[in-house]
């Protein structure tokens, strides 16, 4: 019989590692009986596996800008300095991408992080090409650019340094207060209409946040980050995302109100998405933390998703459909009106000041031209 832990490891979101969908063979731990037969003089926890440590692997890359033409995504270009995310958010729709690395979207996704230290150099090459058309670059579209490993690796900062130097507009989505570290780069760009930040606040309940997003910043720190950014003149919005029926939807109005008081000028939302391996991971998480509520939560998700765990269609995948989805949208609309903010993201970011990066040869020629 395959074993799944009753409780997740401390600081981790997933409760198990689902099998890689691309593998023909599978491996599973089995109970050989020794776990139930303690030996006199031995600690019962001697055979317990140690907590998993985060392992960061350098990922060679040929390009760094990802492009999309999805009709329900408000950007055309994005950069992800990392793959995998230590925040451990159980609902993360990016989890299935770890299967491409022959790893599990479960605990592997949270503990096996791929870093791209050459991101800034690759970016300089791409935006320096002839014919490149400047368009705002979004950071934080797949995994968080300010997850804990960024403190040491500083890849996101290196990317921002280049974008600021080249006067290239950008947006940031994060649930980390670490974004405050880079205000020296973000604030001047924001004052010139070339930067905008969105902070994701999923709940104001610290206990729920600790289970739902175990290594992300606490809710009050995210609100403090909004206040810090706003005080520095950075246009900042709040993302109430994802909204999970009968789990965090009770906080919708409170989040919008608190974010507006902190200085947020816009607010948006998405409803939970459960693609591929995320669905069984989320179900196991519900069974572990909220067993009495699990069936009801899933029934409402199915109501939003046309009777399925997930609906990948453009136009409905972000907001859902049906009565409960309509109720969430209405509550968001009313909450924003009461708080004095709306969906308006402000004027388009300024692309007119973009200056392509100069390579070493251009830099040398510049000595004679200045």
Report the CATH number at residue 126. 3.20.20.70
Q: How far apart are CA 21 and CA 18, in angstroms?
A: 9
In a domain, 57, yes or no: yes
Name the stretches of the chain with pLDDT < 50: 1-5, 360-370
In a domain, 232, yes or no: yes
In a domain, 330, yes or no: no
Number of domains within the chain:
1
Task: Work out the burial of residue 222: count CB atoms within 10 Å of its CB; fewer than 13 is exposed, 13-18 middle, 19 or more buried.
Answer: buried
Q: Which domain holds residue 208?
A: 52-270
In a domain, 98, yes or no: yes
pLDDT for 2: 37
In a domain, 89, yes or no: yes
pLDDT for 366: 40
pLDDT for 287: 97
Phi-psi region of 270 (alpha: psi -120 to 50; beta: other; left: phi over 0): beta
pLDDT for 132: 97
In a domain, 94, yes or no: yes
In a domain, 239, yes or no: yes
In a domain, 19, yes or no: no
């Amino acid at each position: 019989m395959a074993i799944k832990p009753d409780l997740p490891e401390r600081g981790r979101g997933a409760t198990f590692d689902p099998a890689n969908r691309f593998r023909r063979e599978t491996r599973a731990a089995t109970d050989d009986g020794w776990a139930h037969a303690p030996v006199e003089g031995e600690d019962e926890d001697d055979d317990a596996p140690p907590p998993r440590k985060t392992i960061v692997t350098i990922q060679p890359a040929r390009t760094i800008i990802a492009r999309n033409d999805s009709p329900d995504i408000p950007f055309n270009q994005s950069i992800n300095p990392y793959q995998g995310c230590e925040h451990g958010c159980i609902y993360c729709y990016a989890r299935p991408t770890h299967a491409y690395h022959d790893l599990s979207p479960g605990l592997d996704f949270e503990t096996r992080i791929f870093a791209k230290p050459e991101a800034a150099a690759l970016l300089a090459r791409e935006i320096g090409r002839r014919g490149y058309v400047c368009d705002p670059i979004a950071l934080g579209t797949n995994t968080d650019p300010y997850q804990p490993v960024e403190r040491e690796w500083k890849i996101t900062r290196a990317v921002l340094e280049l974008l600021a130097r080249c006067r290239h507009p950008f947006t940031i989505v994060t649930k980390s207060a670490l974004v405050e570290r880079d205000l020296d780069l973000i604030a001047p760009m924001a004052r010139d209409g070339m930067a905008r930040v969105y902070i994701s606040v999923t709940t104001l309940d610290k206990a729920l946040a600790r289970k739902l997003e175990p290594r992300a910043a606490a809710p009050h720190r995210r609100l403090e980050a909004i206040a810090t950014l706003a005080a520095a003149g950075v246009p900042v919005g709040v993302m109430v995302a994802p909204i999970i029926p009968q789990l965090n939807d009770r906080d919708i109005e409170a989040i919008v109100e608190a974010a507006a008081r902190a200085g947020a000028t816009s607010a948006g939302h998405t409803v939970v998405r459960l693609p591929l391996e995320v669905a069984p991971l989320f179900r196991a998480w519900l069974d572990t933390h909220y067993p009495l509520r699990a069936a009801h939560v899933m029934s409402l998700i199915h109501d939003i998703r046309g009777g399925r765990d997930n609906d990948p269609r453009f136009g409905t995948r972000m907001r859902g459909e049906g009565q409960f989805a309509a109720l969430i949208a209405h509550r968001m609309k009313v909450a924003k009106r009461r708080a004095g903010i709306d969906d308006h993201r402000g004027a388009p970011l300024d692309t007119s000041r973009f200056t392509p990066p100069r390579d070493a040869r251009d830099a040398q020629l510049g000595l004679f031209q200045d």
